[in-house]
Structure 1
Amino acid sequence: MTDHALHFTTELKGLEPDEWLAALEVLVEEHGSFTPLGRDHMATFLDAGPKLLVTFENAVEVRGLPDAAPRGFAFARREGWSHLAIIGKAESWFRDPAIYRHFDRLIDDGFFEDFESVLFYGTGAGGYAAAAYSVAAPGARVLALRPQATLDPSVTGWDTRYMSQRRLNFTNRYAYAPDMIDAASQVWIVYSPQQRLDAMHASLFTRSNVQMLRISGIGGRLNITFDSLGALDPLLRHAMAGDLTPQRFINALSARKTFGAYLKGLVRRARDRGHDALAALACRAVLKRGRDTYFETQLRELGYAVPQSDAPDDDMQDAARA
């Protein structure tokens, strides 16, 4: 391995799927390796420093990112991390024998043993895979956003969101994610308690090495919201270092206090719980920064006048605790 940041530029944005795939292969081959995994998946590896980020990603979502590059590319450039990405061409829970064989080969070759720190990361289906395949690297860390534990209907038949994917085999290799994290040194499971089915999956990760990180009021697409808040990169850095704590998690998400979707959800939750005064505090705290039709309407519905000047910033903290 090289022990330095990689210097390359990405020109992947705006390409059609086949063009994107071809350009990605050329780019990766210059700094590591590109491995097709059957018809539906691929593995890209960037060989940089002694820290390895392993991500599980959807090609459609990757192409929608600002640079249309897998998550770890920025860390390979900025931090000097090596990066292994397992990419599905479509929505995938990474249940493919070609992926099993790839991880078997990596284990046989002692691939993960070459790194001083290994972090598996993914969200949703990728979070499931990050937990499930972490067994290949004992001592690794796992950061999984709203992961599924399994889609085996005999275990999680209550989750009816992914009916077509239930036909995949979730009972053979690298299968039940909560069992596969036993050898991990640290695991962080991030979920929103308002997303009931996500919270039910999270509750199945009952191991002593698991730290649950709950975040309320920002909806189900945690990775997208975290990106918008500038929170995901700091979380990955802390997870790689092994020092991600609940307080650091909350600190990384502090920008949510000015994030419109979060603030609207905060007001809705306060009203649903009958805390009208706290909902009004939140509305006034937002309106202190400037006019906003939504919060003005909420305030009038609550029976309060829209103020010309507002209450102190502590109002938002009080409402957030409701």
Structure 2
Amino acid sequence: MRKALFRSENIEVVKVSGGHTDVVFVTFEPKLLVRPPERSGFGEAFFAKRGYTAYHVRCRGNDWYHYPDMEAGLAALRADIPPATRVVLYGSSMGGYAALRFSNWLRADAVIALAPQASVDPTRVGWEKRWAPETSVLIWDRLPPHPNAACYVVYDPFDADRRHVAILRREAALVPLHSYFSGHHVTEYLMESGLLESLLVSVARGEFDPPAWQAELWRRRLMTSYYSVIRLRKCRTLLRRWRYDLIERWLDLRYRRVAARRPLAALPLEAVPRGD
């Protein structure tokens, strides 16, 4: 069943009920070029198909959720979650930023943030030229992540996103996970590798094994189109080619050893990647 829990001129909170009663997901939209009113929430089809109750926060524009009614909307969301339910927040880029910033309000047990930003305040991240909010009123930019949440942050350490993660690590204890040679396209990279579902489902169940998952993601990098494109782009000179060849050899050795000690556990049938 799909219903709106909260609606204002700025945001809408939509609940899609599922069969699982012990865990819920809360998702935040990324930056979008267009926002048709009939659009689904971030990951809505994924969670609905697998029977997970999910709350989807949709926003008016690319304002990075800096709306005065965010507090009221998320309070309504939190009040609808039954006691003792595990709460997992999920978002990518702008959505990952929101998942981390609002994790305290929602009393999250875990956060999964793909290529998140630490801030969109030009006085804090003046080096960030890729995007900016469509508002100059940054109400929630300094909200600290929940101190007790397990915050899993997936990003490319060879991309500018590493500078955002460095800031976030000064604010909270993060579990960094590296999608090498993904650039900012972490969501698509994980989908192509077949490991996005593994990440979401195992975190929901409290069974996530970061070293084993990281090693498997490295092994599957060749399955992604982003790896081949971005890897080639970074090796345009002989010196850079030599540098990244050495890095890859070292990572191969490192993750081969991890995989030998801690192979990624097989997922149950419902969590086998199906490409959707």
After TM superposition, the score normalised by the length of structure 1 is 0.65
1:97 to 68, 74, 96: 68
d(CA) in 2 for partners of 1:135 and 1:277? 39
Computing the radius of gyration over CA atoms, which structure comes out larger, 1 or 2? 1
Tell me, yes or no, if structure 1 residue 273 matches structure 2 residue 240.
yes
* Greater relative CO (CA pairs within 8 A, separation 6+): 2
1:3 — aligned with what? none
Alpha-carbon distance between aligned partners in 1 of 2:156 and 2:244, rounded to the nearest angstrom: 24
1:159 aligned counterpart, secondary structure: coil
Q: What value does the CA root-mean-square deviation take over the aligned residues?
A: 3.4
Q: Where does residue 203 of structure 1 map in the other structure? A: 166
Query: Partners in 1 of 2:60 and 2:195 — Cα distance?
Result: 26
- 240-249 vs 49-58, greater mean Cα deviation: 240-249
d(CA) in 2 for partners of 1:62, 1:231: 28
Distance 1:260 1:117, change over 3 A: same
Q: Which amino acid aligns with 2:220?
A: A
| Aligned partners of 1:46 and 1:84 also within 8 Å | yes
Distance 1:62 1:187, change over 3 A: farther
Structure 1 Cα separation of the partners of residues 193 and 34 of structure 2: 18
User: Structure 1 residues 244, 137: closer, same or farther in 2, change over 3 A?
Assistant: farther
> Residues 268 and 159 (structure 1 numbering): CA distance in 2 closer, same or farther, change over 3 Å?
closer
1:251 is aligned to 2:220: no
Aligned to 1:298: none
Q: Of the candidates 12, 17, 28, which is equivalent to residue 42 of structure 1? A: 12
Q: 2:142 is matched with which residue?
A: 176
TM-score, normalised on structure 2? Answer: 0.74
- In the TM superposition, what is the alpha-carbon distance from 1:60 to its structure 2 partner? 4.8
Q: Equivalences for 1:138-217 in 2 at 5 Å? A: 138-165=107-134, 167-170=136-139, 174-177=140-143, 179-184=144-149, 186-196=150-160, 198-206=161-169, 209-217=173-181
Q: Mind listing any 5+ residue stretches in structure 1 that lack a counterpart?
A: 1-30, 283-313
Q: 1:32 to 1:68 in 2, by over 3 A?
A: closer
Aligned equivalent of 2:26 = 54
Change (3 A) 1:104 1:275: same
1:120 match: 89
How much has 1:61 moved relative to structure 2?
A: 7.5
**3-state SS in 1 of match to 2:87:** strand
Show the counterpart of 1:75: 47
CA distance in 1, matches of 2:202, 2:63: 27
Paired residue type of 1:228: E
| Moved >4 Å (runs of 4+) | 58-64, 267-272, 276-279
Aligned length: 245
The equivalences for 1:208-227 within 5 A come to 209-227=173-191
Asked whether the 8 Å contact 2:62–2:133 carries over to 1, the reply is: no
1:169 Cα deviation after fit:
1.7
For the structure 1 residues 140 and 269, does the alpha-carbon distance in structure 2 shift closer, same or farther, using more than 3 Å as the test? same
Q: How far apart are the structure 1 equivalents of 2:217 and 2:86?
A: 22
Indicate if the aligned counterparts of 1:103 and 1:136 stay in contact, CA closer than 8 A: yes
Runs of 5+ unmatched residues, structure 2:
257-276
Residues 275 and 153 of structure 1: is their aligned pair in 2 closer, same or farther, counting only changes over 3 Å? Answer: closer
Distance of 2:33 and 2:83 partners within structure 1: 30
Q: CA deviation at 1:223?
A: 1.0
**Residue 162 to residue 127, structure 1, CA distance change in 2 (3 Å):** same
Q: Residue 247 of structure 1: SS of its match in structure 2?
A: helix
Identity score, percent: 21
User: How far apart, CA to CA, are the structure 2 residues paired with 1:262 and 1:70?
Assistant: 24
Q: 1:156 to 1:59 in 2, by over 3 A?
A: closer
